[in-house]
Amino acid sequence: MSQDTAIGQGGFWRDTGRTGIGSWIFSTDHKRIGLMYLYCVLGFFLVGVSLGLLIRLELIAPGPTIVTAQTYNALFTVHGVVMIFLFIIPGIPASFGNLVLPIQLGARDVAFPRVNLLSWWLYAIGAVIVLVSLFTGGGAPDTGWTFYVPFSARTTTNVSLAVFGVFVLGFSSILTGINFITTIHRMRAPGMTWTRIPLFAWSLYATAWVQVLATPIIAITLLLVITERILGLGLFDPTRGGDPVMYQHMFWIYSHPAVYIMILPGMGVISDIIPVFSRKPIFGYKMIAFSSLAIAAAGSAVWGHHMYTSGMSDLGILVFSFLTFIVAIPSAIKVFNWVSTMYKGSISLEAPMLFALSFILLFSIGGLSGLILGAAATDIHVHDTHFVVGHFHYVMFGGTGFAFFAAAHYWLPKYYGRRYKEKPAIVGWILMFVGFNVMYFTMQVLGMEGMPRRYYDYLPEFARLNLVATVGSWILVAGIIIVVWNLWRGLFRGEPFTGNPWGGATLEWSIATPPPTENFDEDPVVTHGPYEFKGAGVP
């Protein structure tokens, strides 16, 4: 970091024996690891956004426009792989989790600092493997990020290497999960009872369990794809007695719970931000904490809703449909509690709060459209249409993506000792919000009207709405550019940020800014809950 002097305020940026890049990529300090994750994750987000922009550009008008059909297949595959495995799964837990979790618990580091560093290395190595797979072998994979057999077993593109990269990334995710569970069990400061754990930490706890329990299934499934390609085992090949639907079962046994790896940490961020910017303690702390666990548990039993159209038994469809609706309950509890927290609060609409508020709205739209997909009758109509694409972007991008930016505006100044400018942050947020809805809402309408997903070309009657959606993508990206640029500039050059300007009551706001290497000069003793701050009616 050549801007060291610009950051200036000391803390963990300064006091270390080593300097230069080695002081980062070999550091076991959770804050440095968190920042390394953050930069990688953000970098891949921007790569993924560029690819998304290209997808939308291709779809601006019917017929071929900017790329060939093969390139288009590679584009949506790589966009999906990058966004899912490199951005959104590690996004909040690995970056902000590492930055914030130990401090919120009153610990000096995570339970296994060296394993933590290993996780980051595995992430970096996995990412490099995925990137290499794009340019070597038979070219970028073209299977979609789900690697469905039989196509993934047959295509001549570089699927094996890409899948292996994802396998390594999964290993990294498992190790992070194990580390966080152990940290939360063993490293809490005296007085930090289970009901005094901040809700962000609670959400990471639930997430970590999903990471530990679900990721091994994807690991074996991915290994099976590789062996299928290399050795021709035939386990998923119907001509050899295998069953391709078994692949889908195994894939979604992981990937549906993985959706909660993606969204739970985002919910945790929101639960920490809303009370602080409403100047009120969180409403229903225990219900929020408990609903995280409930989501993690119930969310593990609903994978079949991805396969209504692939020839499941009617009873199976009924059961999975029922279970899917159950998951909506704990999610709705959270939304209800956030809204209740704001009721009669004195709300200050600063950047983190704006992103948090838009999270609630966009996540709710995404969740409600999820119910349309969860009901078998309606799903059969919109399955594999642009409605699905709209739905998961509302949840993943409108939800977790916006939570990611909320977290960035809320916590990063704490780690840099400098802050971004408020005005550009708000302008960027407005553009993102407007562009987002213009694009994805239009895509949902398109899907309702019958436009399939992953199609290179479409019928002329879809032309007008596709044009609207593509214009939306430009507004959205303009917003993203402003937000990222404003953060970047502000953190290195902005006004000093000291003390506790937001007025938070979690432990990270009680220590120096930026935090010193060991976080706490003296091990803290916790005497009150995480949301009992001044101005909240608590002395």
Partner 1 sequence: MSHQEKDSFGAKLGMWLFLFTEMLLFGGVFILYSVYLNRYPKEFGLGGHQLDLVFGATNTVVLLTSSLFAAMSVTAIKRGAKRLTLGLLSVTIGCALVFLCIKYLEWSAKFHHGIYPNSPKLIAGPPGESIFFSLYYLTTGLHGIHVVIGGILMTWTAVMVQKGILNSTDNVTLENVTLYWHLVDLVWIFIFPLYYLIL
Quick check: 232 binds partner 1 (CB under 8 A)? yes
User: Which residues are bridge partners to 496 per DSSP?
Assistant: 418
Query: Which residues neighbour 115 within 8 Å (Cβ) at sequence distance 6 or greater?
Result: 175, 178, 179
State yes or no: residue 453 binds ligand HEM (CB under 6 A).
yes
Q: Could you tell me if 345 and 278 are in contact, meaning their C-beta atoms sit under 8 angstroms apart? A: yes
243 binds partner 1 (CB under 8 A): yes
The residue (of 160 and 400) whose beta carbon lies closer to partner 1 is 160
Q: Helix, strand, or coil here: 27? A: coil
CB 474 within 8 A of CB 435: yes
Q: Interface with partner 1 by CB under 8 A: which range of 141-149, 238-246, 392-400, 504-512? A: 238-246
User: Could you say whether residue 79 binds ligand HEM (CB under 6 A)?
Assistant: yes
Contacts with ligand HEM in 160-219 (CB under 6 A)? none
> Between 77 and 160, whose beta carbon lies closer to ligand HEM?
77
Which of 256, 280, 334, 453 touches Cu ion (CB under 5 A)?
Answer: 256
Stretch that binds ligand HEM, among 2-10, 77-85, 176-184, 199-207 (CB under 6 A): 77-85
- Specify whether the backbone of 504 is left (phi greater than 0), alpha (psi in -120 to 50) or beta: beta
CA distance 286 to 308: 35
111 binds ligand HEM (CB under 6 A): no
Figure out which of the listed residues 135, 231, 313, 539 binds partner 1, where binding follows CB under 8 A.
Answer: 231
CA distance 143 to 151: 7
Please state, in angstroms and rounded to a whole number, the distance separating the CA atoms of residues 19 and 37.
19
- Indicate whether 117 belongs to the interface with ligand HEM (CB under 6 A): no
Q: Residue 287's binding partner, choosing from ligand HEM, partner 1, Cu ion, none, with beta-carbon cut-off 5 to 8 A by kind?
A: none
Q: Does 442 bind partner 1 (CB under 8 A)?
A: no
Residue 78, phi-psi category: left (phi > 0), alpha (psi -120 to 50), beta (remainder): alpha
Residues 6+ apart with CB under 8 A from 374: 302, 305, 321, 324, 325, 328
The string of DSSP codes covering 29-75 is -HHHHHHHHHHHHHHHHHHHHHHHHHHHHHTTSSS--SS-HHHHHHH
Exposed, middle or buried: residue 537 (CB in 10 Å: 0-12, 13-18, 19+)?
Answer: exposed
Q: Which of 10, 53, 112, 148 binds partner 1 (CB under 8 A)?
A: 112
Nearest CA to 262 out of 36, 83, 480 is that of: 83
- Concatenate the DSSP letters of all residues of 317-342 into one string: HHHHHHHHHHHHHHHHHHHHHHHHHH
Q: Give the list of residues 6+ apart from residue 223 with CB closer than 8 angstroms, or none.
A: 167
Does 153 interact with partner 1 (rule: CB under 8 A)?
A: no
Chosen from Cu ion, partner 1, ligand HEM, none, partner binding at 376 (C-beta under 5 to 8 Å by type): none
CA atoms of 468 and 485, how far apart (whole Å) = 26
52 makes contact with ligand HEM (CB under 6 A): yes
| Total of residues contacting partner 1 (CB under 8 A) | 41
User: Is residue 403 within the footprint of ligand HEM (CB under 6 A)?
Assistant: no
Q: Does 246 bind partner 1 (CB under 8 A)?
A: yes
Q: Decide: is 477 part of the binding site for ligand HEM (CB under 6 A).
A: yes
- Report the SS3 class of residue 419: strand
Question: What residue 181 binds from ligand HEM, Cu ion, partner 1, none (CB within 5 to 8 A, per partner kind)?
Answer: partner 1
Q: Does 471 bind ligand HEM (CB under 6 A)?
A: no
Which residue, 521, 495, 519, 522, is CA-closest to 508?
519
Residues numbered 183 to 212 that lie near partner 1 (CB under 8 A) are 185-189, 212
| 476 near ligand HEM (CB under 6 A) | yes
State in angstroms the smallest separation of the CB of 211 from Cu ion: 17
Q: Is 389 in the site for ligand HEM (CB under 6 A)?
A: yes
Which residues bind to ligand HEM, rule: CB under 6 A?
48-49, 52-53, 55-56, 76, 79-80, 83-84, 87-88, 144-145, 389, 393, 396-397, 401, 453-454, 473, 476-477
Which residues bind to partner 1, rule: CB under 8 A?
107-109, 111-112, 115, 174, 177-179, 181-182, 185-189, 212-213, 215-217, 219-221, 223-224, 227, 231-235, 240-243, 246, 250, 518, 523
Which residues bind to Cu ion, rule: CB under 5 A?
256
